[in-house]
Amino acid sequence: MKGIILFVVVIILLLTAIIVGARNNEVVTINYLIAQIDMRISLLMAVCIALGFFVGLSTIVTKYFTLKLRFASMKRRLDKLSVEKS
């Protein structure tokens, strides 16, 4: 059931993104320090959202693996202490 709800939410978000992107066809100029580029607002929004998603995902994955390593270390220490007490 949880998977179906998640799937429906993702589909709704994708449809919303497509609708918003289709309505924003204006071209904007983005100035970098050494260059500039012209791109549509919808493409700029998609790039910014994708970058935010990947930065957030990498942060979550890094934190998850750090906690998993700490848990494994604590479990080894607990096992070692329980063997010493026995």
Note the pLDDT of residue 70. 96
Q: What is the CA radius of gyration of the chain?
A: 23
For residue 71, what pLDDT band results from cuts at 50, 70 and 90? very high
- Please state, in angstroms and as integers, the Cα–Cα distance from residue 71 to each residue in 28, 47, 75, 80, following that order: 49, 36, 6, 14
Note the pLDDT of residue 74. 95
- Which residue has 């329980």 as its token pair? 82
Note the pLDDT of residue 84. 81
Note the pLDDT of residue 63. 97
Per-residue pLDDT tens over the stretch 16-61 = 888 887 787 889 999 988 999 999 888 888 888 889 989 999 999 9
